[in-house]
Structure 1
Amino acid sequence: MKKNLIAIAMGSLITLSAPFYSIADSNPAVHAQVEYSQFVTKRQVVDQLLADAVKAFKSPARVSHAGFTAKMPSNMEMVTARLLEAYQLEPYRTDLLMSAANAQIYNKNVDRAIELFEQVLTVAPDDLDAHSYLAVWQKFKGNDKASQKHMEKIYALNKGRESDLKRIFSTVDRVLSTPLKEKAGQSLGDNGAIVTLGYALNPDGSMHDILIKRLETTLEMAKANPKAFIVLTGGVPQNHKTEGKLMADWLIQHGISADRIIEENYATSTVGNALYSSYALARHNIKHATIISSASHVRRGQTLFEIASWQTGPQNITFDTVAYPDKPLDELKQASDKEILGIYRDALRTYGLWSYRSYPLESR
């Protein structure tokens, strides 16, 4: 049925009046003008394709294991396919290409994503975001010359963006080179905070064992730093309960004063954890924060919190991490490509580049 609708819409572009020419340069446009009724037909097909993309994007909602959260790959293939079908009908809609490319990033198919980002540049060679994505993902692939070529173009277009990307690269490299640890490396002092990242609740609204282990690590550190604030971040509801609230209840039951606890009950991803919590850290003028999460997750968490704090402050705030060893730390000494991909992907989202920018499929 969908193919028939697309064929009808595409066919309407053939039985048209004379081609439209640009007054400015007399070059023919990508497609000819159509009568209003025909245009509406095409619009309806595009809208339906985007609605199908949204449906695929949202189902299943999410899967999570050891702190790594992502859409199911099969769903991302469906999202990509629907976006590209819509792009066939609307060849000026580079937002569709951008969204399709990022769907492939979620699907861990970086080569395909690079192809789609490069296709954006054939339409808009000065597109700053496309060059930014390509600089990052070519670097991820180890193609340093290609990455540098895009960085030079970015510098010519926007020196601030080039500087920010260099800072992201430097932050990721530093975090990846820092050894994981199970104990705090320093006392938090008078302006310190503990930030504990949530983990998906069980369907009945109870806490997963992984989240309880993070809380046990938090409790130990909270007792060693009695003046530190404690930020508990996680807002994905299950059975009308959120991670932030349940974590707070658990710590209070184990002797931690409620006056020290800041609940963040809205974040639905690590990006949200960083963005929402950064304002709590700014409000209390925190100078150093220790992030607690699973060992396979803390490096991504630290990177995102550092990037989020660039906008909110406090100025010169520093971060480190304490890992609950969901896996032996020796196995995680060298970050996997999967982990590094997740770090770069979410670093760009935290920085402000939206992954999906095709209404109604819009998501940071």
Structure 2
Amino acid sequence: MRKVILRLVVLLLLAVGLAACSEQGSSQNSKGENDSKASKATTEQSGNASEESVEDLFKRVKNNSPTSERVNALKDIAMHYYWYGGDVKKAEKNVFKGITLHGDYDVVEEAFRQASQIDPYDLDLRYSIASAQVLQKDIPGALDTYQEILHLDSKQFNAQLLYGIYSKVQGNEADYQSSFKKLDELNKEKADAYRHRVELVDEKKDATLHTEAPDDISKKNHAFVVLGYALSDEGKMEDTLKERLKVAKKAAEEFPESKMIVSGGVPKKGNTEASVMYEWLADHGIDKDRIIKEDLATDTVENALFSMEIANQENINDITVISSASHMRRALVIFNEIDRMFEKVHDKKSGRQITNMVYMDYDSEKEARKFTKDEELVVYRDLMRASGIWSFPGMQR
């Protein structure tokens, strides 16, 4: 019991610490896998935007309401559509008259845009606009938004950084290099830290994806970390998760001394990804004492953050991440980033080896080796989030 309480306290402190790393906009700090709309939380998860109906939120956006109430209502509308989705036509009719919206993320972007029109000096709102544009793969639009932020405040480190990173994703090496020169002037040490993160992506994009257990897996103080995948609305496993578990079962049988950390929250019908993975592995012969449930994570960043904390608490050193091939490069980048974060927290090198095993969800190994622009985009997007830069400052990492 004491260990559980200690874990929860440490996780809370880490969440606060990561938020404090963000310098987006004002002093406020700032989902694929569980990172996309397909796996948004159900109404079993609560939040400010889910405590009242979307109709009530629409009613709060009135010209005769105080400025802060209108801005907060628009922010709540944005978060409601981000997490739960909704009737886009109803949003057009009630709030965004004269604007054609094509999907939930359009609503998110437009809600933040209208809030920014009301309060143009709140840079966090502009960061949120850019994040909604990144979610829709509108990188030119996001770059323009970061430029707007820099026009208002040229010393915004995160805006300059994100402008450079997404310029690189666009293939604009000149703007990437120019941005980092400006970052050097703002904070050379921090700029170099992000250069190392770019090098991490360059390294992991060529990572070998192992369908069998790597030869160098340690047989001591080692764990397999199985990453979850969104459950159906009925709380059942989809085929993708079942395939990952088949890989995990094989690995567990080959390495009987290794622990198994099953990671994934996002409850559906009372089930979390971790709970159904735990039961599946136990039903297929894996000793329950070997399996550790991590049922708080809602996305890849939290898979890494919370699983690595368990590894530290359980004195587990080396880990092997198990996921789909299409997800693995992103997972490796994020797990290595979180490992570096823990090294800073504890002020010592972990010496941790992070390997991988995959369920091959590509048609061929040749296709699996391709690091596409779309994949590069989500890798960098999540890496920035893992580094402490929230997508929607003060609301959602």
With normalisation by structure 2, the TM-score equals: 0.76
- Of 197, 203, 210, 1:174 maps to 203
Structure of higher CA gyration radius: 1
- Of 377, 383, 392, 1:341 maps to 377
- Structure 1 residue 268, shift from structure 2 partner: 0.9
- State the one-letter code of the partner of 1:99: S
Render the CA deviation track for 1:30-58: whole Å, top value 9, x for unaligned.
Answer: xxxxxxxxxx6333332332232223222
Distance of aligned partners of 1:133 and 1:302 in 2 relative to their CA distance in 1, 3 Å threshold: same
Indicate yes or no: 2:182 matched with 1:146. Answer: no
* In 2, Cα distance between equivalents of 1:43 and 1:252: 52
- Of 243, 260, 270, 1:230 maps to 260
Q: Highest relative contact order (Cα 8 Å, sep 6+), 1 or 2?
A: 2
After TM superposition, the structure 1 stretch with the greater mean CA deviation from structure 2, 52-61 or 96-105, is 52-61
Q: What secondary structure does 2:262 align onto?
A: strand
Q: What secondary structure does 2:326 align onto?
A: coil
C-alpha contact (below 8 Å) 2:206/2:369 kept by paired residues: no
C-alpha contact (below 8 Å) 1:232/1:247 kept by paired residues: yes
Q: What secondary structure does 2:181 align onto?
A: helix
- State the one-letter code of the partner of 2:380: Y
- Structure 1 residue 318, shift from structure 2 partner: 2.0
Indicate yes or no: 2:132 matched with 1:103. Answer: yes
* In 2, Cα distance between equivalents of 1:250 and 1:7: 51
* In 2, Cα distance between equivalents of 1:232 and 1:77: 34
Alignment of 1:1-364 (within 5 A): 41-60=66-85, 74-186=103-215, 187-313=217-343, 315-328=350-363, 329-357=365-393, 362-364=395-397
CA RMSD of aligned residues (A): 2.4
- Structure 1 residue 99, shift from structure 2 partner: 0.6
Q: What secondary structure does 1:297 align onto?
A: helix
- Structure 1 residue 189, shift from structure 2 partner: 1.7
- State the one-letter code of the partner of 1:170: E
For structure 2, list consecutive stretches of 5 or more residues without a partner in the other structure: 1-56, 87-100, 344-348
Q: What secondary structure does 1:200 align onto?
A: coil
Q: What secondary structure does 1:194 align onto?
A: strand
- Structure 1 residue 315, shift from structure 2 partner: 1.3
- Structure 1 residue 130, shift from structure 2 partner: 0.7
Render the CA deviation track for 1:302-323: whole Å, top value 9, x for unaligned.
Answer: 1111111112246121212111
C-alpha contact (below 8 Å) 1:120/1:130 kept by paired residues: yes
- State the one-letter code of the partner of 1:325: M
- State the one-letter code of the partner of 1:253: D
* In 1, Cα distance between equivalents of 2:282 and 2:371: 35
* In 1, Cα distance between equivalents of 2:157 and 2:383: 17
* In 2, Cα distance between equivalents of 1:7 and 1:210: 45
* In 1, Cα distance between equivalents of 2:264 and 2:196: 27
- Structure 1 residue 7, shift from structure 2 partner: 10
* In 1, Cα distance between equivalents of 2:187 and 2:312: 28
* In 2, Cα distance between equivalents of 1:227 and 1:41: 61
Render the CA deviation track for 1:322-353: whole Å, top value 9, x for unaligned.
Answer: 11012223222112211111111011111110
- Structure 1 residue 272, shift from structure 2 partner: 1.1
* In 2, Cα distance between equivalents of 1:237 and 1:73: 28
Render the CA deviation track for 1:230-256: whole Å, top value 9, x for unaligned.
Answer: 110001111101111111111122222
C-alpha contact (below 8 Å) 1:236/1:243 kept by paired residues: yes
* In 1, Cα distance between equivalents of 2:163 and 2:128: 14
- Structure 1 residue 132, shift from structure 2 partner: 1.4
* In 2, Cα distance between equivalents of 1:73 and 1:134: 26
For structure 1, list consecutive stretches of 5 or more residues without a partner in the other structure: 10-39, 62-71
- Structure 1 residue 73, shift from structure 2 partner: 7.3
* In 2, Cα distance between equivalents of 1:238 and 1:44: 32
C-alpha contact (below 8 Å) 1:188/1:225 kept by paired residues: no
Q: What secondary structure does 1:216 align onto?
A: helix
* In 2, Cα distance between equivalents of 1:73 and 1:113: 18
With normalisation by structure 1, the TM-score equals: 0.82
* In 2, Cα distance between equivalents of 1:153 and 1:324: 42
Distance of aligned partners of 1:319 and 1:134 in 2 relative to their CA distance in 1, 3 Å threshold: same
- State the one-letter code of the partner of 1:261: I
Distance of aligned partners of 1:51 and 1:204 in 2 relative to their CA distance in 1, 3 Å threshold: closer
Match of 2:17 in 1: none
Q: What secondary structure does 2:336 align onto?
A: helix
After TM superposition, the structure 1 stretch with the greater mean CA deviation from structure 2, 120-129 or 88-97, is 88-97
C-alpha contact (below 8 Å) 1:73/1:107 kept by paired residues: no
